[in-house]
């Protein structure tokens, strides 16, 4: 399990300790931080420092320095697990995803670059252009909110690399366990309404996005990520240009003030800090569209195989999957006590047909109660009452089956070089005592 590390991105912006004046007076006459430094600290913490003018010169607030920062990501729950701080990547422990609708502070964060620091919603614009657009247009946030009909959908966002940490041989990249997924309510306008307004030519095959984040290298000529979807997915009713999550502005780390949302597809297609959409007459060729990014072998391969670029295919709809969100793994129960086990299940563009659980390592399965999705592309809630009759160690496994009959594999599914699409059954551990 990754340990929380200090947020280096924040620290690097802070004054260097070595520049502190160490002249003799240091201990005899207390000196205090400058107001400009205090402001930098306050910005990093996301709040003013009470009694800040009394902070001795040369001292950093401990919250920005120690190994276990209780509020390292502004606006996010302190129990998110930080996988990387530059770029920022943090996942959600399964038990924090127990709500039917994922709250803003628990949705995972996956950044490829550095988010913009100077967002002004008043001057933010979205450009629509590309070979297959009739007339390029530029819209303000206000134009989007007033000229088009807004829609709200609950949409499942899951990183294509969710579950990567289980692959063997291991795959490079963020070692997500199960927490790069969530299903908030998004409000925005339909991408198809905006594209139609600009006029789509008949040769359109793909859309691509550009965001206002910057490349990790600091090179302004490099784009951290610019992916997209086929025009057929772009034109679906639930494909949104969204400005709101659960009725509030998008959280900064989740794309404020504007993002794309394509439920059920790798979340890498859901461009954050959205500033431009291009409609292409070919498959979009932006950053991280090239092989092997967000691609898997077109045909299954043996673990460890080197796969040529041209034999890798772009990931589209995500596979069927489920999560046990209650109880929390590691819990202690009492024998004979019945417990309602809960979770969610989702299946990309498809619906989930059934969810089953096992407490005997997959030998037998019990059917769960499964609800319909709030709308297409939203995850579905399931629950089941289980009783644990003997003292000892138990595991609960959950397995979902989609509307085409595909089920989650009990352990690891097809190995692939970049470690995408691990939809193995989620397992939790329980101890039962009398
Ligand atoms: N502009 C921009 N959009 C982006 C990314 C990014 O780094 N920059 N990351 C993508 C990836 S790989 C994922 S999984 C999702 C994560 O969305 P979230 O951080 O809101 O959970 O955003 C996608 N959109
Ligand atoms: Mo991702």
**How much is the pLDDT for 402?**
98
Same domain, 308 and 332: no
Ranges of residues in the chain whose predicted pLDDT is under 70:
1-30, 43-46, 63-72
Domains in the chain, number: 2
Same domain, 116 and 171: yes
Nearest ligand for residue 110 CA: 1
Say which residues have a Cβ less than 8 Å from residue 146's Cβ, sequence separation at least 6.
Answer: none
In a domain, 261, yes or no: yes
Q: Which residues surround ligand 2, an ion (CB under 5 A)?
A: 110, 159, 268
Range of the domain at 404: 321-433
Same domain, 370 and 259: no
Instruction: Tell me how long the chain is.
Output: 434
- Pick from 177, 134, 135, 141: which is nearest to 158 by CA? 177
Class of residue 8 by CB neighbours under 10 A (exposed 0-12, middle 13-18, buried 19+): exposed
In a domain, 277, yes or no: yes
At 12, which helix (H) or strand (E)? Answer: helix 8-12
**How much is the pLDDT for 63?**
67
Same domain, 87 and 153: yes
At 147, which helix (H) or strand (E)? Answer: helix 141-147
Distance, CA of 426 to CA of 420 (rounded, Å) = 16
Q: Is 291 helix (H, G, I), strand (E, B) or coil?
A: coil
> pTM for the full model?
0.85
Same domain, 372 and 276: no
Nearest ligand for residue 224 CA: 1
Q: Which atom of ligand 1 is nearest to the CA of 294?
A: 12
Residue carrying structure tokens 């697990």: 81
In a domain, 28, yes or no: no
Tens digit of each residue's pLDDT (9 = 90 or more) over 38-94: 877 776 666 778 888 888 887 777 766 544 445 568 899 989 988 887 788 999 999
Q: Which of 110, 115, 244, 257 to mutate to test the pocket of ligand 1 (most atoms within 8 A of CB)?
A: 110
Same domain, 289 and 412: no
Same domain, 192 and 87: yes
Distance, CA of 169 to CA of 225 (rounded, Å) = 26
Residue carrying structure tokens 């690097």: 12
Are 208 and 287 within 8 A, CB to CB? Answer: no
- Which residues lie with the beta carbon below 6 Å from any ligand 1 atom? 107-113, 157, 159, 211, 213, 224-225, 254-255, 267-268, 270-273
| Parallel, antiparallel or unpaired: strands 426-433 and 331-334 | parallel
In a domain, 174, yes or no: yes
Say which residues have a Cβ less than 8 Å from residue 183's Cβ, sequence separation at least 6.
Answer: 101, 102, 154, 155, 156, 157, 344, 346, 378, 379
How far, in Å, is the centroid of ligand 2 from the Cα of 124?
Answer: 24
In a domain, 13, yes or no: no
Same domain, 120 and 160: yes
How far, in Å, is the centroid of ligand 1 from the Cα of 33?
Answer: 37
Say which residues have a Cβ less than 8 Å from residue 305's Cβ, sequence separation at least 6.
Answer: 297, 415, 417
**Rounded to 5 degrees, what are φ and ψ at 74?**
-60, 130
Cα atoms found within 13 Å of the Cα of residue 186, Cβ hemisphere only: 33
Q: What is the CATH number of the domain that holds 341?
A: 2.60.40.650
Distance, CA of 331 to CA of 344 (rounded, Å) = 19
**How much is the pLDDT for 44?**
65
Tens digit of each residue's pLDDT (9 = 90 or more) over 113-162: 999 999 999 999 999 999 999 999 999 999 999 999 999 999 999 999 99
In a domain, 102, yes or no: yes
Q: Which atom of ligand 1 is nearest to the CA of 255?
A: 20
**How much is the pLDDT for 67?**
43
**Rounded to 5 degrees, what are φ and ψ at 298?**
-60, -30
Same domain, 294 and 356: no
């Amino acid at each position: 399990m990754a340990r929380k590390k200090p947020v280096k991105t924040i620290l690097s912006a802070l004054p260097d300790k070595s520049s502190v004046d160490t002249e003799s007076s240091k201990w005899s006459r207390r000196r205090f931080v400058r107001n400009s430094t205090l402001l930098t600290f306050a910005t990093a913490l996301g709040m003013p420092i009470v009694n800040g003018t009394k902070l001795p010169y040369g001292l950093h607030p401990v919250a920005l320095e120690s190994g276990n920062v209780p509020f390292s990501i502004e606006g996010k729950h302190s129990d998110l697990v930080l996988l990387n701080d530059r770029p920022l990547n943090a996942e959600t422990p399964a038990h924090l995803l127990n709500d039917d609708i994922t709250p803003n502070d628990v949705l995972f964060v996956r950044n490829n670059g550095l988010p913009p620091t100077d967002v002004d919603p008043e001057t933010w614009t979205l450009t629509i252009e590309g070979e297959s657009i009739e007339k390029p247009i530029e819209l303000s946030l206000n134009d989007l909110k007033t000229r088009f009909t807004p829609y709200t959908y609950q949409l499942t966002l899951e990183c294509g690399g969710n579950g990567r940490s289980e692959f063997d041989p291991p795959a490079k990249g963020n070692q997500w366990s199960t927490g790069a997924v969530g299903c908030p309510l998004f409000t925005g306008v339909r991408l198809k309404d905006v594209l139609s307004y600009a006029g789509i030519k008949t040769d359109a095959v793909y859309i691509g996005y550009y965001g206002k984040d910057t490349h990790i290298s600091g090179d302004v000529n490099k784009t951290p990520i610019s992916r997209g979807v086929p025009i057929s997915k772009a034109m679906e009713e639930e494909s949104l240009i969204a400005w709101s999550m659960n009725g509030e502005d998008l959280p900064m780390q989740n794309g404020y003030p504007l993002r794309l949302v394509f439920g059920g597809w790798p979340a890498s297609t859901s461009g954050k800090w959205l500033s431009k959409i291009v409609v292409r007459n070919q498959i979009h060729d932006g950053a991280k569209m090239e092989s092997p990014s967000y691609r898997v072998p077109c045909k299954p391969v043996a673990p460890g195989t080197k796969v040529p670029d041209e034999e890798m295919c772009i990931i589209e709809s995500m596979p069927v999957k489920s999560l046990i969100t209650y109880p929390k793994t590691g819990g202690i129960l009492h024998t004979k006590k019945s417990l309602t086990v809960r979770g969610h299940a989702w299946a990309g563009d498809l619906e989930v047909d059934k969810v089953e659980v096992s407490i005997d390592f997959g030998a037998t399965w019990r059917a769960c109660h499964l609800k319909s999705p709030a709308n297409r592309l939203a995850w579905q809630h399931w629950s089941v009452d289980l009783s644990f009759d003997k003292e000892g160690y138990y595991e609960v496994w959950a397995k979902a089956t989609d509307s085409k009959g595909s089920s989650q594999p009990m352990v690891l599914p097809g190995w692939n070089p970049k470690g995408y699409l691990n939809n193995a059954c989620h397992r939790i551990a329980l101890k039962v005592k009398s």
